[in-house]
Chains A and B, each alone.
Chain A
């Protein structure tokens, strides 16, 4: 269903195209098509949302101005946006990587909280060894835990043919329950009376803001991960095999592609990204594992991955867009007296429009390959 259709439709024509010299401009037009469709969708969502605002008796112009100011208008606003977008880059990859195989994984939230918890647990015996030991250990532990947790869904899919969407969702509930059980039970710092938390990893071991820019340290990690994921998907045979599998599972199996291994790998890599996001949140923001980790990063990541049509490079602008809307949300509440849910309405409209814009691909002849006959 949506998973399969969201896999870039560009893959098929590229493979099937006629002599490559016949249509030299086709790749550029294809790029234009890929940029134009979401842009149109955003414009349509904005128009729809303006109507909504007018019915509330509010000015769309003021809304746009406030979103700009709250999200991108000053260095403070940009820091605010980036801080919210940083974990989303990684949690979106948790959806986009398995998405290449046509899998829809929606349980990234559990990978985030369990990754953060495991990172904290791994750091606790090492608090006196200094950040150069603690931070890498946390990153590895968080990523490994996330990989394991999402890997379960992949394994169930590959071996037992259990629907991965349902499995990952149910596992997300189990993961959260386990997280609460440990944080409120054996791992709880008895001094954290009314907000159960684990012991802290120590102020000296925490990640600082990126020097000079003073932005969230998760941003460079997220950008690197997105670029690496893009290379993996579009520039390696492994990625090609994954996209083939996503396009047609039976054909891939006939070709002798290692489908089971691909599914496990994609799920584990995606889970590792989400687990890493949890580890970074602990190392950069919380300093300990507690319910703050369960802030919905995993769920917003799903939205972003779909908006980006599972393309890791497209995740970057989409995460900034949603992070920016989130950052501006406060200013909108304070200045226009709009409820927080207004931003959710806008997000919903964008989501529906982007999904609808999927049908545009291949419809406009100008963008299609020419030549041949």
Chain B
């Protein structure tokens, strides 16, 4: 790409001519002509690829895969969880020749992906979210997901070392188990540093609604909270607001240090390339791609952002030490006796729930020390 602005008209004319040639060529060929036998992999995102969040985490991995030989990556962003995604999948199969599809949003699975998988049973579908069940779902489908709650626990430790007001905050999308695990983990991490720390949570009700997220962030800061994290699709506005208001922030989904250079402490990030690379390796070796894959920090599905300038030496050491424990596997964040914020015992004494515990997947409570309600 020429960077000299004067070359613009030249380039445009060339683009026009190329376009014309491409038109002539595709008109004759039907347009599916591809470089010999590249494996075509399709990625589908529910939001924009550059949302500094959930979708970007996948798109970053897709961008890395584009550089791998023998692969052709096709992507589509902002595809709603309606039949539109069925058409996108079908279009990728029919027009692009995709043989492996990654519909990455939770709501794509049922009924859209399952219907397409039944219709195209020689195509592989892997869904991000962990819904696949062996006795119910076809073998050309599957799911993968990561235990990112551990990362939020580490975020909580960093927040616990940083807060001066002993009040920290969480902006959450919807009160569903995945989100509640993150809120509880963050609160427990902070309480491991100082049991008096209170975590306030606000649910915006939507996966992506920047206006509400900014309002929630501002009102949480006005209430005296001085460290914030979140679980929404695009944390951009929350990080920027934290930076502008001079408090600290812990990231989620991807590294948001660029948005909040002073405020950023650390962050819980997805590392999807681990999953995608292993799927592609299996495919190339002719092995079946696993139908059900999960992992956390130890498996490299999740990683932590590098520390920002706001995190003290003691804080860094504490996070490092707990992380090292987690890397050994089997680390339990939820240890009994544990009460919810209404006083009910949710984990009895003597019981410890590791990240893999099935009980956690129906979490419907906020733990003691969390200020907020899911009703």
State the A residues within 8 Å of B (CB). Answer: 54-55, 57-63, 65, 69-70, 76, 79-80, 83-84, 177, 180, 184-185, 193-196, 216, 281, 285-287, 290-292, 295-296, 326-327, 330-331, 333-334, 339-341
Contact = CB atoms under 8 A, between A and B. Distances in A.
Given A60-B16, A193-B176, A194-B106, A83 B83 contact: yes
Given A80-B91, A330-B79, A59 B15 contact: yes
A195 B105 CA distance: 11
B8 to A, nearest CB: 7
Given A286-B82, A287-B111, A61 B23 contact: yes
B22 A334 contact: no
A58 B1 CA distance: 12
A57 B2 CA distance: 10
A188 to B, nearest CB: 10
B129 A194 contact: yes
A79 B23 CA distance: 23
B78 A57 contact: no
B361 A193 contact: yes
Nearest to B95: A331
Nearest to B111: A287
A194 B26 contact: no
B342 interface: no
A70 B76 CA distance: 14
Nearest to A54: B12
B54 to A, nearest CB: 13
A76 B22 contact: no
Nearest to A328: B91
B76 A292 contact: no
B87 A285 contact: no
A341 B106 CA distance: 23
B87 A291 contact: no
Interface in B77-117: 77-84, 87-88, 90-92, 94-96, 106-107, 111
Given A62-B23, A193-B362, A339-B77, A80 B48 contact: no
Closest CB pairs A-B (n = 3): A59-B19, A62-B19, A54-B12
A287 B110 CA distance: 10
Given A69-B95, A195-B106, 20 more contacts: A54-B12, A54-B15, A58-B15, A59-B19, A61-B16, A62-B18, A62-B23, A65-B19, A65-B22, A65-B26, A65-B27, A80-B87, A84-B84, A177-B205, A193-B177, A193-B361, A291-B107, A292-B81, A292-B82, A334-B74
A57 B11 contact: yes
A184 B31 CA distance: 45
Nearest to B96: A334
B20 interface: yes
Contacts of A60: 16, 19
Contacts of A70: 91
Contacts, number: 111
A346 to B, nearest CB: 15
B71 to A, nearest CB: 14
Contacts of B20: 59, 61
Contacts of A84: 84
A55 B16 CA distance: 11
Interface residues of B, number: 48
A282 to B, nearest CB: 11
B98 to A, nearest CB: 10
Contact of B18 (A55, A59, A193): A59
Nearest to B112: A285
B82 A55 contact: no
A interface majority secondary structure: helix
Nearest to A297: B82
B81 A291 contact: yes
B75 interface: yes
A333 B107 contact: no
Nearest to B92: A334
Contacts of A326: 84
A195 B80 contact: no
Contacts of B316: none
5 contacts: A61-B23, A281-B82, A292-B80, A334-B96, A339-B48
Nearest to B98: A334
B39 interface: no
Interface string B1-34: 1000000100110011011101100110001000
Contacts of B111: 286-287
Given A59-B15, A76-B94, A333-B77, A285 B205 contact: no
A76 B90 contact: yes
B341 interface: no
Given A57-B12, A334-B96, A69 B77 contact: no
Contacts of B189: none
Contacts of B77: 333, 339-340
A312 B129 CA distance: 42
Given A55-B12, A331-B95, A285 B176 contact: no
Given A59-B16, A59-B18, A180 B87 contact: no
B108 to A, nearest CB: 10
A73 to B, nearest CB: 9
Contact of A285 (B1, B16, B48, B82): B82
A196 B107 contact: no
Given A291-B107, A292-B107, A340 B19 contact: no
A285 B83 contact: yes
Given A76-B90, A334-B75, A339-B48, A61 B81 contact: no
A59, A62, A63, A196: residue with the most chain B Cβ atoms closer than 10 Å: A59
B178 interface: yes
B16 A295 contact: no
B84 A57 contact: no
A212 B343 CA distance: 60
